[in-house]
């Protein structure tokens, strides 16, 4: 009996001791267990990052692995000329900006193709006066023809289908270049001092000074058959030849003594329809053929081609201005002119100057009338337009 009690007493303290240790451990270890619980889950995350093949490769939750290649965005080049350029008119002339540049200098002559998609330039080097021809694609901005060490090319002109380039050489002939083959294919032998191509590309008018008597002839030749169609005669030395935009009129500018004389013929009848005496320059036609501008003693004179009636005439406050009409806008409301290394835009009816491009020497409007080209001998060709 006594032995049994001792055993119970011995067991009871052990139970109490175990119970106290458990209770005490639960209180003191709880913060430590909480900290361990926050730290341990980091290991599975590391394991997942090291096994990217288990991650779905499609869907909105797709993730790139370190070995994936990130491609740069596709580059789309800007067009050489923006699309949708509006006509250049009085309402937007002040917004005219340079939209691109063609890297060619020392230009002696320049011509657009009929569509306006190509441009031919003839340049003359200052050092040795040698000349070279370049043809530019205005859609891509690329040079499609370069010919160097030429004779005296003067007047470039594109064939109507724009596959060939005709280049007149005074007293030599007409060189015909194939733009696809990029070479001279033949020469039309013609002896003349000056020339002009008809807008439709069917004819060339060539001028020749006869000397004594003091007169010149203008012959019109069919380019396809190379046969002479008719000959016109004018007093003095022929200095300027030009067809009207619709090809119905032919102008001959003659130097007679100390004055300049413009004779105008109707091609269909060969009748002389105008004799403009004592003018300073040749004639500049409007795109629709209804107006023609020139200068007389410093004053701009604008004629109606129906009856050749003088419609508008105006001078300038500065008597030293040397204004030379160069081109009309499509709507005929603006006349672009050269004024001593500046291009100015005049209101056709009043002569009011609306806008100017300082430092530019000459200009051409594109056939569509939505771009303008300017250049000087030592500067590159600039293409202007109004960005919509």
3-state secondary structure of 36: helix
Q: What's the CA gap between 244 and 250, in Å, rounded?
A: 6
Are residues 303 and 291 in contact, defined by beta-carbon separation less than 8 angstroms?
yes
List, for residues 12-35, the tens digit of each pLDDT value. Answer: 333 333 333 433 333 333 333 333
Nearest to 89 by CA among 330, 327, 268: 330
Residue 76 is assigned to a structural domain of this protein: no
Q: Which domain holds residue 243?
A: 105-321
311 within a domain of the structure (yes/no):
yes
Quote the CA–CA distance of 56 and 64 in Å, as a whole number: 10
Residue pair 119/139 in contact (Cβ under 8 Å)? The answer is no
**Sign, Cα dihedral of 46, 49, 55, 61:** positive
What is the mean pLDDT, run by run of 10 residues, along the chain of 388 residues? 37 36 37 37 41 46 59 68 93 95 90 94 87 93 90 88 91 89 90 87 92 90 92 93 96 90 96 93 94 93 95 89 93 95 95 94 94 91 94
Domain CATH code at residue 218 = 2.130.10.10
Is residue 283 included in any domain, yes or no?
Answer: yes
The whole-angstrom separation of Cα 168 and Cα 93 is: 35
Which phi and psi angles does 15 have, rounded to 5°? Answer: -65, -45
H helix or E strand, kind and range, residue 31: helix 2-39
Q: What is the DSSP string of 292-341?
A: EEEEETTEEEEEETTTTEEEEEE--SSTT--EEEEEE-TTSSEEEEEESS
175 domain residue, yes or no: yes
Q: Is residue 202 part of a domain?
A: yes
Total domains in the chain come to 1
Vertex 291: Cα angle to 377 and 322 (nearest 5): 40
Q: Answer yes or no: is 348 within a domain.
A: no
Residue-wise pLDDT for 43-67, tens only, equals 444 444 444 444 444 445 555 555 5
Does residue 372 belong to any structural domain of this protein? Answer: no
Q: Does residue 184 form part of some domain?
A: yes
How far apart, in whole angstroms, are the C-alpha atoms of residue 250 and residue 232?
10
């Amino acid at each position: 009996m006594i032995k049994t009690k001792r055993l119970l007493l011995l067991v009871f303290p052990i139970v109490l001791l175990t119970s106290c240790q458990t209770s005490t451990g639960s209180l003191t270890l709880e913060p430590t267990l909480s900290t361990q619980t926050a730290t341990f889950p980091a290991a599975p995350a590391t394991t997942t990052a090291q096994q990217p093949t288990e991650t779905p490769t499609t869907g909105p939750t797709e993730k790139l692995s370190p070995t994936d290649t990130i491609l740069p965005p596709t580059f789309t080049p800007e067009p050489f000329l923006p699309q949708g350029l509006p006509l250049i008119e009085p309402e937007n002339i002040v917004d005219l900006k340079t939209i691109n540049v063609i890297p060619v200098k020392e230009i002696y002559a320049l011509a657009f193709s009929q569509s306006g998609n190509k441009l031919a330039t003839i340049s003359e080097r200052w050092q040795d006066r040698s000349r070279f021809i370049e043809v530019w694609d205005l859609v891509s901005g690329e040079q499609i023809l370069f010919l160097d060490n030429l004779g005296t090319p003067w007047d470039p002109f594109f064939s109507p289908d724009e596959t060939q380039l005709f280049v007149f050489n005074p007293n030599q002939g007409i060189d015909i270049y194939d733009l696809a083959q990029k070479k001279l294919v033949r020469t039309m032998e013609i002896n003349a001092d000056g020339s002009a191509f008809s807008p439709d590309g069917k004819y060339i008018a060539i001028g020749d000074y006869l000397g004594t008597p003091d007169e010149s002839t203008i012959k019109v030749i069919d380019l396809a058959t190379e046969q002479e169609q008719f000959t016109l005669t004018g007093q003095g030395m022929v200095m300027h030849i030009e067809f009207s935009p619709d090809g119905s009129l032919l102008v001959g500018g003659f130097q007679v003594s100390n004055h300049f004389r413009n004779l105008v013929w109707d091609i269909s009848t060969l009748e002389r329809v105008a004799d403009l005496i004592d003018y300073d320059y040749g004639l500049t036609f409007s795109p629709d053929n209804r107006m023609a501008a020139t200068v007389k003693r410093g004053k701009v004179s604008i004629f109606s081609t129906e009856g050749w009636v003088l419609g508008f005439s105006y001078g300038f406050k500065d008597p030293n201005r040397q204004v030379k009409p160069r081109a009309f806008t499509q709507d005929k409301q603006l006349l672009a002119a050269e004024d001593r290394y500046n291009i100015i835009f005049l209101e056709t009816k009043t002569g009011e100057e609306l806008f100017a491009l300082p430092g530019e020497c000459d200009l051409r409007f594109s056939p569509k009338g939505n771009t303008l080209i300017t250049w000087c001998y030592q500067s590159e060709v600039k293409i202007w337009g109004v960005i919509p």
